[in-house]
Amino acid sequence: MNVPLLDLKPQLAALRPQIIEAVTRVIDSTGYILGPEVTGLERKIAQYCGTEYGVGLSSGTDALLAALMSLEIGPGDLVLTTPYTFFATMGTILRVGAQPLFVDIEPESFNIDPERVAEALAADRKNGGKIKAIIPVHLYGQCADMRRIAALAAEYGVPVIEDAAQAIGAECPYEENGAVTWKKAGSMGLCGCFSFFPSKNLGGIGDGGMLTTSDRHFVEVVLSNRNHGAEPKYYHSRVGGNFRLDPIQAAVLTVKLDHLDNWHAARRRNADRYRQLFRDTGLVGEKVALPQAVYADLPGADSHNHHIYNQFVILVSKRDELRQYLQEHSVGCEIYYPLCLHQQECLRPDQYKRQSFPVAQQAAANSLALPIFPELVDEQLVYVVETIQKFYRTC
């Protein structure tokens, strides 16, 4: 049996007529830069996420870059973030001339540890206050502890840029005006940054991104930076970039958005089935650690997207050998991520190499992502777990 890590063909087959119609509409309009398709998607994404504004951007990476540029973060500044995520989080910090300040992650969620955030902010205040932003990453489709992080950010007066590239629609408990409610990723910081890379839960047919915010002044700066800092046309008070979302991508994403919560639910069903199958094998514990949905047992969680499973990541012994065995038996899998950011070769000076984040480094050494996309059938899930069971029986 073949079980790919991701197969977009079933999704395309179900939506092909609507997608072809939407793309054709853009082509026939001859309006190929921004326009009604982009503004329409911006409005719908903002409404979906619970923010006042959305800004369509060329990628999730450029959403992060535009956010940092719009805060005028640059040389001499520090940005507090996680060492365990995709490179773009750190890459955009370096591109504006700032430096990343890493703290370790929680072992349960793989997300940035708010207690380590608190320690870093307290130490930074004593050293003159060089931290100019916090970028928590909602990794694998589960929100970081934004209730605690937002409170710390308010205490220290530091803006929060949510890296929600993998987490559109994910929700977590959040305290606002003395009451605790559930809020969506991208609505709890100054802004949220999303990716529409094809492999995401909401993916386009190429690159695309979105920034969400409820801050009117900030969104005006982002809109200017999206178009070379022009405001008005041909008048440049700042240096921005060409960060515009393509209207063809916006048209396709608009078609897909109506199906997003159903896809989230299907991914959660697949995750629940994996848990049942793994428990039945007796592998959980010494051989396999399953991902923890840290908000799943809270009141009301069943009616919220407490985890959208952009990836289903397990921790395993003999990870590299298991990966090879799965690939040899036609099971797609991937390592997210084999190196922590502080270990990347591009970083200078070498002081980053001397830093240690044991929880993040253990995750990098033992994590493996299994297929979780919505269209998987039960026979495929069973085959994945049985193949893993056979590996541990024979190794």
pLDDT in tens, the chain (395 residues): 999 999 999 999 999 999 999 999 999 999 999 999 999 999 999 999 999 999 999 999 999 999 999 999 999 999 999 999 999 999 999 999 999 999 999 999 999 999 999 999 999 999 999 999 999 999 999 999 999 999 999 999 999 999 999 999 999 999 888 888 999 999 999 999 999 999 999 999 999 999 999 999 999 999 999 999 998 889 999 999 999 999 999 999 999 999 999 999 999 999 999 999 999 999 999 899 999 999 999 998 999 999 999 999 999 999 999 999 999 999 999 999 999 999 999 987 677 878 999 999 999 999 999 999 999 999 999 999 999 999 999 98
Residue-wise pLDDT for 202-220, tens only, equals: 999 999 999 999 999 999 9
Fold adopted by 9-257: Aspartate Aminotransferase; domain 2 (3.40.640)
Residue of 124, 104, 141, 84 lying closest to 341 (CA atoms): 84
Residue ranges, CATH 3.40.640.10, the chain: 9-257
- Determine contact, residues 92/61, Cβ cutoff 8 Å: yes
Residue 332: CB partners within 8 Å, gap ≥ 6?
A: 3, 4, 5, 6, 326, 371
pLDDT at 253: 98
pLDDT at 354: 82
CATH class of 260-394: alpha beta
Residue ranges, CATH 3.90.1150.10, the chain: 260-394
Q: What's the distance, CA 257 to chain centroid?
A: 17
Q: Determine the Cα angle at 232 with ends 226 and 236, to 5°.
A: 70
Residue of 217, 186, 235, 194 lying closest to 70 (CA atoms): 217
3-state per-residue secondary structure call for the chain:
CCECCCCCHHHHHHHHHHHHHHHHHHHHHCCCCCCHHHHHHHHHHHHHHCCCEEEEECCHHHHHHHHHHHCCCCCCCEEEECCCCCHHHHHHHHHCCCEEEECCECCCCCCECHHHHHHHHHHHHHCCCCEEEEECECHHHCCCCHHHHHHHHHHHCCCEEEECCCCCCCEEEEEECCEEEEEECCCCCCEEEEECCCCCCCCCCCCCEEEEECCHHHHHHHHHHHECCECCCCCECCCCCECECCHHHHHHHHHHHCCHHHHHHHHHHHHHHHHHHHHHHCCECCCEECCCCCCCCCCCHHHCCCCCCCCEEEEECCHHHHHHHHHHCCECCECCCCCCHHHCCCCCCHHHHHCCCHHHHHHHHHEEEECCCCCCCHHHHHHHHHHHHHHHHHC
Beta strand pairing call for 53-57 and 99-102: unpaired
pLDDT at 349: 65
Beta strand pairing call for 209-213 and 78-81: unpaired
pLDDT at 316: 97
pLDDT at 395: 82
